Structure 1
Amino acid sequence: MRFMTDHRMLLVHAHPDDESIGTGATMARYVDEGVGVTLVTCTAGEMGEVLVPDLAHLAYEKEGGLGERRRGELDEAMRVLGVTDHRFLGGFGRFHDSGMAWHEDGHAIPAESIPDNAFWTTDLIEAADELVKVIREVRPQVLVTYDQFGGYGHPDHIQAHRVAMYAAQLGAAPSYRVDLGEPHDITKIYWTAMSESRMRESLRKLRESGDTETFKGMEPDGKLPPFVTPDELISARVDGSATVGRKMDALRKHATQVEQDGHFFSGAESGHSWWSDEYYRLVKGTAGPAGSDGFEEDLFAGL
């Protein structure tokens, strides 16, 4: 594949739709700048909740088939964002969605019953080797994945973090699995983040508008859940104001997972101002110059 620049970015996400929710504006921006953007999705999301009544039969606990449906949704979303290189880790169906349950504290945890071949319980080296192949083929300078808690505790998100971080180390080791390609050391690694100040500001606007249901249990000046990151830990803010429209259009393509009249698209927290900025923590590499708000403005800065 040829791109307008020699910059390449690899994003590792757990399920179809995760990429559009958390990094869609970033992906579209870098596609527009001629960067090679590669998305690796670790599972097909077979255990996801089906929000379209007419498609309820696709649910895992019913007839099944949701994974194949979400595969098509991901194809459509990537067409909207302009991403031409998107793959399932090890090939479609290699690793199965693990499912999840909710803890009383408001974060995800592994479910009591986990399906066979669940990504959560797969051998770490087996999964990492599949990503090592991609790293050594694509040779990205920037890797984006989740933090060690997977943002909100979903076992597949946590496993995606572990696989991405381990594969980055293994892929750089000259003596490791030479059959998987020439070693490559990724220069900068980022974890996705949600800004605490931005969340508090948004919660305040929600509550002032009379909305008490969205993010129920969270208050502007109260304790926030683990998926919210203190600003002092955040390194970069990607301004997606020029691409957020495509981000939202891509998100709409994940129709089984996203309510078309839900909080992404309606209510006080909907719209471009809420979803355009995407935040990141730099965990490997040297930060580039900071903008007026103290954050890097370009994930490739300093290369």
Structure 2
Amino acid sequence: MPADQRLLLVHAHPDDECIGNAATMAKYVAAGRDVTLVTCTAGEMGEILVPELEHLAADKEDRLGEHRRGEIANALAVLAPGEGQSIDHRWLGGFQRFRDSGMKWHDDGYAIPADDIHDNAFWAADLTVAADYLVEIIREVRPQVLATYDPFGGYGHPDHIQAHRVAMYAAQLAAVPSYRRDLGAPWEIAKIYWNAMSESRMRAGLRALRDAGDTTSFEGMDPDGPLPPFVTADENLSAAVDAQEYVELKLDALRAYPTQVTTDGPFFALSNNVGSTAWGIEFYRIVKGERGELGEDGLETDLFAGV
């Protein structure tokens, strides 16, 4: 039987889960809660930061997806290090059922779909077909809480946007008793959240970087100027999961993605200058459900509050 409290996360590519939710996942696994992660693609179109692995790129051997399959397994093992601990990981529809769609940058600094995409690209997937795979998982796992991207996918990546659409649609379909009885008994998710990043925390972090003389991390971002769309105004935040004691696990999990994340990159620079609060407190916006007990800052401290 599943644990009494069960969290489901839906992400587009390997490593996305660590950037936004790794500390939350580590904290909840350590507390004995069930954590299930669904990854929608294998990240085949990702940029490769390790020169000796460039032959895996999509325009060469096209084997990056298989490599990132190993990276995510290593990362999730880092986040569940205790005896008997594990994170239940699923590929939407099975491994490489959907392919990373790739992206390009808009002149205004956000991601948009690439000019050409693979026939099996996730961005081009039929929404109902993709959602049905998730409906089956929802009805099996029976999570009380779902966390995924906002409608813009944080920064516009087409796969993030599609993951948001699939997650939100599947959550609705899974609760309908007469819908696809073959996919399991109906289950309604009590609380749904979108991942978020606190504007005040981001500005404070940028200010610390600039004061330390770092002008390259998060290049172009001014602590007192406009911020990218993945940053959320504090007034729109609903929950803050304080998992600072697990921030080193989060950073170690990010290190498990050498093809995608560099140890001298902005994530580690921010952590070095701001400390564990940089990545050890993860923020969320509530979409469905009633907020539970609030902390001193007016935010929930537990995504399961009130469940």
Q: Report TM bin, short chain.
A: over 0.9
Map of 1:295 onto structure 2: 299
- Which residue of 253, 258, 261 maps to 1:255? 258
Matches within 5 A, 1:8-157: 8-82=6-80, 83-157=86-160
Deviations 1:113-165 (A, max 9, x none): 11120000100000000000000000000000000000010000000000000
Matches within 5 A, 1:92-241: 92-241=95-244
Structure 2 distance, partners of 1:214, 1:260, is 12
Instruction: Answer yes or no: is the 8 Å Cα contact 1:108–1:154 preserved in 2.
Output: yes
The Cα of 1:255 is off from its aligned counterpart by 1.3
Report the CA distance shift for 1:60/1:269 in structure 2 as closer, same or farther (over 3 A): farther
Residue type of the alignment partner of 2:255: R
Give % identity: 66
Report the CA distance shift for 1:117/1:134 in structure 2 as closer, same or farther (over 3 A): same
Residue type of the alignment partner of 1:155: P
- Normalised by the length of structure 1, the TM-score is 0.97
Instruction: Answer yes or no: is the 8 Å Cα contact 2:243–2:280 preserved in 1.
Output: yes
Residue type of the alignment partner of 1:288: G
Map of 1:242 onto structure 2: 245
Instruction: Answer yes or no: is the 8 Å Cα contact 2:41–2:100 preserved in 1.
Output: yes
Residue type of the alignment partner of 1:52: V
The Cα of 1:264 is off from its aligned counterpart by 2.3
Structure 2 distance, partners of 1:149, 1:43, is 18
Structure 1 distance, partners of 2:276, 2:72, is 21
Structure 1 distance, partners of 2:169, 2:112, is 22
Structure 1 distance, partners of 2:286, 2:256, is 30
Deviations 1:83-107 (A, max 9, x none): 3310100000100000000111111
The Cα of 1:2 is off from its aligned counterpart by 4.8
Structure 2 distance, partners of 1:183, 1:240, is 32
Structure 2 distance, partners of 1:32, 1:116, is 41
Structure 2 distance, partners of 1:181, 1:162, is 21
Structure 2 distance, partners of 1:290, 1:275, is 21
Deviations 1:68-96 (A, max 9, x none): 00000011111111133101000001000
Q: Which runs of 5+ in 2 are unaligned?
A: 81-85
Secondary structure of 1:125's match? helix
Instruction: Answer yes or no: is the 8 Å Cα contact 1:141–1:187 preserved in 2.
Output: yes
Residue type of the alignment partner of 1:225: P
Deviations 1:47-78 (A, max 9, x none): 00000010010011111100000000011111
Matched, 1:280 2:284: yes
Structure 2 distance, partners of 1:11, 1:238, is 15
**Off by >4 Å, runs of 4+ in structure 1:** 267-271
Range 211-220 or range 50-59, more displaced = 211-220
Q: Which runs of 5+ in 1 are unaligned?
A: none
Instruction: Answer yes or no: is the 8 Å Cα contact 2:217–2:265 preserved in 1.
Output: no
Structure 2 distance, partners of 1:223, 1:260, is 27
Structure 2 distance, partners of 1:124, 1:2, is 28
